[in-house]
């Protein structure tokens, strides 16, 4: 709980699931960004922003998305909602630049 009595989600609560996802999707770069990283994510109200960037021999987008949900679903039991974005070079270039600057690479 923070000073206002809000139950803030800690990065350390999300990292194990992201590391497990990275093992299952080795041909990707995974980033955590947003309110969890900024220490302003409130349990049961905020989400955990995750950007997955396929590289090289990456799986198809649907397979990446499915694997992400299978691996990250246990976070829901702790009031952490994963918001997964699979990088699309046509629409996420600006997001990728920001996340590379301010996000946490897994």
In sign, the C-alpha dihedral spanning 99, 106, 53, 70 is: negative
Chain centroid offset of residue 53 CA: 11
In this prediction, residue 61 carries a pLDDT of 86
Topology, domain 11-105: Beta Polymerase; domain 2 (3.30.460)
pLDDT of residue 6: 87
Q: What is the pLDDT of residue 3?
A: 62
Residue 4 has pLDDT above 70, yes or no: no
* Digit-coded pLDDT (tens) for 65-95: 999 999 999 999 999 999 999 998 888 999 9
Residue-level length of the chain: 106
Classify residue 28 by its DSSP letter: E
Q: pLDDT tens digits for 51-70?
A: 999 987 667 888 999 999 99
* pTM (two decimals): 0.91
Instruction: Map out the domains of the chain as residue ranges.
Output: 11-105
């Amino acid at each position: 709980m923070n000073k206002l009595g809000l139950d803030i989600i800690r990065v350390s609560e999300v990292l194990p699931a992201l590391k497990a996802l990275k093992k299952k999707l080795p041909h990707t770069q995974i980033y955590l960004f947003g309110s969890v990283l900024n220490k302003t994510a409130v349990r049961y109200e905020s989400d955990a922003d995750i950007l997955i960037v396929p590289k090289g021999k990456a799986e198809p987008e649907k397979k990446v998305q499915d694997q992400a949900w299978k691996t990250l679903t246990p976070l829901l039991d702790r009031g952490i909602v994963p918001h997964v974005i699979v990088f699309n070079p046509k629409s996420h270039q600006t997001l990728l630049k920001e996340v590379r600057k301010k996000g946490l690479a897994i």
